[in-house]
Amino acid sequence: MKTTFEIKDSTPRKNNSKHWQYCVGSGQAKLALRSDYAEQLKFIHDELGIERVRFHGIFDDSMQAYMGLDDFMPLPGAKNFKNYNFHNIAVAYDHILAAGMKPWVELSFMPSRLAKSQKKVTVNADGRCGMPKDDAAWQDFIKAFIRFLIHRYGAEEVESWNFEVWNEPNMSTFFSGSQADYFHLYEITARAVKDIDPKLLVGGPASATGAWIKEFMQFVKENEVPCDFISTHNYPGDGIGEVFLGKIMFDAIVGGVKRLSAKKNGRTLEGCQAVMQDKSEMSEMPKGQMRQIIEQIQEVVGGEYPIYLTEWNCNAILMSPSNDTRKVAAFQVKGIDEMEGYLTGSSIWAFSDIFDEFVMIPDEFSGGFGLLTINGIPKPQFYALKLMSETGPRKYDLPYTNGEVEIAAYEGEDEKRIFVYRQRMKQVAEPAKEYEVKIELPDGAKKVTRYRIDEDHCNPKKVWEQMGAPVEMSREEIAQIKQKSGLVNETVEAEVQDGVLTLSGTIGVNDVHCYVIQRA
């Protein structure tokens, strides 16, 4: 059965905020010291217009933010020789600014010298996941950091940054304390930031799955704690509310051992994928979860604070093969569309597979979160965002359907863009579906073109597999994959009849079609 859409010229338009361009995610702060990271980041900014980047662990011991003689020379009395050292953080931020972007400052994690407990964050990080052993010492450290930033970059620049306290404190992976502990940590941190410059923007709770927001807002109000924005995260493919170290890790240990035994041997990546299964491919999860959670968050916040979704994507399972496919492209097109108007800014996780949350996987298509592979090959989701980046400032306010085939329409001065997509949380082999879009164009159309993201278009992994899936990539092979998997502009033979343009086609599961209609 054909799915038909009608877009009337009288359809109201609303602002197209491009909330996803506000920021993009990354891995650990130490990665921002790498030259290939800096090159890819600039490419992302230049090609997609993304304005900021967010990463974990600026205060991890790997960044040497609080260093001492006993770090490398454990002699009697060595502990008395120590100092703050924000140079490595500055190098990372210099790379960001050189790319034309700004840092989204995640104030994490706890340096070992300040930590009450030496329990580490469990994602290949060198930061501690608990509270400071001395509140005043932590505040002195934060104040020194803020002074350093203002001295190096100037107050006007730093006042344009966001300062977010911690990352996902409701997940034991990142924070070993209680909700009350986090609220206290937030309070002493926010007050330290504001003591140096009241104009700096500070917020939280940076929670997973929209949790703790109501309680957080109540806490900051009752205690008159500074707060400029609300931040949270969501990954529908990870299961709402499921604790990382609970169900997932139980399956990884028990089920993973069985799967490793059955597989017997292989590359490190193959072992990881046997252990950490992609739950979105194991059962059919409902679509539209991004709209659902952002509506809930907006209702709780009630317009009192700007809302930032500082991490979101299709799946929180690193090394999931589906992260390299068009499934993520369709999910992001839908997510961007269905969250428009509900938040101030968002940050897709992440921009590159230069990423080491567990280990740095060298394989080209490793199932990483990135828009780009480790060698900078754009994935399908990059191309979806490229097409979205070129949309005009207005969006047709079409009814929300959450149907099998959906559309989103955008308008600029010289063109309109119609996205047709068939998003599903599970990549299933089903017959293509017919669609038809009728759009009223009183002024006619000069030219109509189409871009496709599907099995045969913008599919670099398929090109790589056709090359024999080389493990070690030469520069020539990388360039060849980029050339063969880029966007293809197809002319569409379509005429405006009685003021209506009809677009038609067939679309598979998780395919994305983008029509560009040039004004006559």
The pLDDT tens digits of the residues spanning 61-96 come to 999 999 999 999 999 999 999 999 999 999 999 999
Mean pLDDT for 181-190 is 98
Q: How far apart are CA 156 and CA 159, in angstroms?
A: 5
Give the helix/strand (H/E) hosting 207.
strand 201-208
Condensed to tens digits (0 to 9), the pLDDT of residues 190-215 reads 999 999 999 999 999 999 999 999 99
> Is 7 strand, coil or helix?
strand
Average pLDDT of the residues in 236-243 = 55
Predicted pLDDT at 231: 98
CB neighbour list of residue 497: distance below 8 Å, 6 or more residues apart:
none
Q: What's the whole-number mean pLDDT along residues 3-29?
A: 97
CA pair distance 485, 56, nearest whole angstrom: 32
Q: Which of 164, 168, 338, 340 is catalytic?
A: 168
For residue 15, pLDDT beyond 80 = yes
Per-residue confidence at 483, pLDDT binned at 50, 70, 90? very high
Residues 6+ apart with CB under 8 A from 297: 210, 213, 230, 232, 307, 342, 343
- Cα dist. 497→420, 500, 501, 505, 514 in Å? 21, 5, 6, 18, 21
List CB contacts of 80: < 8 A, sequence separation 6 or more.
none
Residue-wise pLDDT for 282-305, tens only, equals 888 899 999 999 999 999 999 999
DSSP one-letter code for 132: B
Longest CA span, the chain: 89
Res 256: pLDDT? 80
Domains of the chain: 3-11+398-519 (2.60.40.1500)
Residue 465, both tokens: 């597999």
* 3-state secondary structure (DSSP) of residue 91: helix
Helices (H) and strands (E) in the chain, counts: 13, 21
Half-sphere exposure of 516 (CA within 13 A, CB side): 17
Is residue 156 flagged as an active site residue? no
Active site residue 168: yes
Q: Of 211, 236, 380, give the one whose Cα is nearest residue 316.
A: 236
Mean per-residue pLDDT, 5-29: 97
Q: For residue 161, which of 199, 216, 189 has the smallest C-alpha distance?
A: 199
Asked if pLDDT for residue 242 goes beyond 60, the answer is no
Note the pLDDT tens digit of each residue in 164-183.
Answer: 999 999 998 899 999 999 99
Please report the pLDDT score of residue 243 as a whole number.
Answer: 43
Asked whether residue 129 carries a pLDDT value surpassing 60, the answer given is yes
- Name the active-site residue from 106, 187, 281, 311: 311
